[in-house]
Amino acid sequence: MKERLFEIGVDVDDAVRRFMGRQELFIKALKKFVNDIIANGITDIETAMTMDAEEFRKYIHGLKGVTANLSMREMNALLIEIEQSVKAGNPDFVKYEYFHGHFPVMAQQIREIILAEEGPVPAAAFIPSGSEEECRELLKKLSKYLMMGMAKECEDITITLRGKSWGNFEKDDLLRVCDAIDGYDYAKAMEMVDDIRSIKFN
């Protein structure tokens, strides 16, 4: 899989270093990103041309950050050029049109490579349920551990959160917290935990 990803512009070795040597976390983050691209697409060229310069720069900057983190080297280099052109006051929509046309294709190729490696998705297993009180307590601990940067403790809680359903707590919200922690984006995870706790605890 590493060689096939490298051929289409993903430097797996470099990315795994960014993910503290944990290839499974990198693959999980890569898969989530390309699935988002496939599901939601990229801002089309007509819409991009109607954005003001700062709005378009922020959009490109966000994509640039993710592609850098995932070591998608060719697309990241192209996004750097596009962002620089925006900063210079003359957005290069020719390059953006190329990016817009090729990036979803690349995302699909990446997903196919990962699926070929992982094989068919197994049948869903029984998912045990946890109590709301347990979930509240886990989120309380998670908030503290995130603030203290206690990676191992945070990871232990994400394993528990992923392994159960949690009553009235939105499973997707909890999974997004887990994904942020897996990607070492503790600031984002803290913000999401605070949002969930403020809604559910008040």
Sequential pLDDT tens for the chain (202 residues):
888 899 989 999 998 888 888 888 888 888 888 888 888 888 888 998 999 888 998 999 888 888 998 999 999 999 999 999 999 988 899 999 999 999 999 999 998 998 888 765 444 445 677 888 888 899 999 999 888 878 888 888 888 888 788 777 787 888 888 888 877 788 888 898 888 888 765 4
Give the distance from CA 64 to its chain's centroid.
Answer: 13
Domain count, the chain: 2
Q: Is residue 123 part of a domain?
A: no
pTM of the model: 0.59
CA-to-CA dists, residue 96 to 30, 33, 55, 101, angstroms: 22, 19, 15, 8
Considering the domain architecture, whether residues 21 and 101 belong to the same structural domain is answered as yes
Same domain, 108 and 196: no
Residue 54 covered by a domain: yes
The separation between CA 150 and the C-alpha centre of its own chain, rounded to angstroms, equals 21
DSSP string, 103-134: HHHHHHHHHHHHHHHH-SPPPPPP--B--HHH
Identify the domain boundary among 61, 89, 118: 118
Range of the domain at 155: 132-200
Residue 4 Cα to chain centre, angstroms: 21
